[in-house]
Structures are given as structure tokens and as C-alpha cells.
């Protein structure tokens, strides 16, 4: 059986994150794995072609990063105080690509990712993160529907 020593859980700080997190914790405990939490802030290039273009985004980048860091600290303090080893990261870029880059740089053994997050027009415009990760991941990807998790 393969060793699962490092698990990555990409987080978006939505209710989906909160619904999946107890399952992720159970998996990390079962495998005695180090848990990585990664939040990816979309890069301004993803907004090229929109009416306002990417320039407006740069003004908000610092606020977005600070907000993400605050949310990450709160998430870890409130919900992961009983997990052994947790490492967090905030990155900027294409979400799927950044997740895959993180996995490669950190030799992650498994990704646990939610199947729902974006809906409607946003999903059409930006695609499904889970689909992109599954397609390019160098390790197993466990997808979890946050609305079907028991707990």
C-alpha cells in the first residue's frame, strides 16, 4: 500500500471548505500525514479581456492576500488545533496550475479537493478547478462533494 505522508487540501474559505474539512482531518489522522492547506488567489491575468482589465486588480492584491492570511489563521486555530503537522500557504496564479505546482514542489502524496465551489457563470468562465487538478495531478486526487459528506 502506498505511503500517504503528505496531503494537500486546497481551500477557498467557503462553506464547502468547512463541510469537507472534518473528512480531511480524519484522513490526515488515519494516515498520520502532514496536512497542507493552500489558498490560491486568482492572478490578474485571469481577468484580461474584461471591461476593467487586470489593472484594477493590482490595487486590491494586498488586501486579498491579507484577508486570505487572516482567514487561514482563523481556520487553523478554530478547526485544526488537534492535527499534528499543518502547513499553510497563500499563492497567486491560475488556481489549478498553482495547485499542481505546489504538489510537485512539496512532493505531496494525495490531494483532497471539493467538487463544488463555483457555480453558474463563474464556473463557465473559469472552469472547474477539480477537473483541472484531476487532469494534471501527479498523485491520487480524492474528490469530495461537500453537500454529500456525512458529519
* Helices and strands in the chain, H and E counts: 5, 5
- What are the CA-CA distances from residue 141 to residues 10, 108, 134, 144 (Å)? 11, 11, 6, 10
The fraction of the chain above a pLDDT of 90, given in percent, is: 56
Residue 35: domain span = 6-144
Looking at the domain assignment, is residue 123 inside a domain?
A: yes
| Per-residue pLDDT tens digits for 83-128 | 889 999 999 998 999 999 999 999 999 999 988 655 554 444 445 8
CATH number where 78 lies: 3.40.50.620
Q: Give the pTM.
A: 0.84
Q: How many domains does the chain have?
A: 1
| Per-residue pLDDT tens digits for 125-149 | 445 888 889 999 999 999 998 888 7
Amino acid at each position: 500500500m502506498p505511503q500517504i505522508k503528505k496531503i494537500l487540501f486546497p481551500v477557498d474559505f467557503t462553506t464547502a471548505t468547512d463541510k469537507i474539512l472534518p473528512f480531511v482531518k480524519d484522513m490526515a489522522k488515519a494516515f498520520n500525514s502532514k496536512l497542507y492547506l493552500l489558498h490560491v488567489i486568482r492572478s490578474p491575468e485571469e481577468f484580461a479581456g474584461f471591461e476593467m482589465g487586470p489593472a484594477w486588480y493590482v490595487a486590491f492584491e494586498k488586501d486579498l492576500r491579507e484577508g486570505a492570511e487572516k482567514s487561514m489563521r482563523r481556520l487553523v486555530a478554530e478547526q485544526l488545533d488537534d492535527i499534528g503537522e499543518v502547513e499553510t500557504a497563500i499563492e497567486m496564479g491560475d488556481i489549478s496550475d498553482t495547485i499542481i505546482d505546489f504538489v510537485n514542489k512539496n512532493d505531496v502524496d494525495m490531494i483532497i479537493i471539493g467538487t463544488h465551489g463555483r457555480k453558474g457563470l463563474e464556473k463557465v468562465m473559469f472552469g472547474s478547478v477539480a477537473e483541472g487538478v484531476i487532469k494534471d495531478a501527479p498523485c491520487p486526487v480524492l474528490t469530495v462533494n461537500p453537500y454529500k459528506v456525512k458529519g
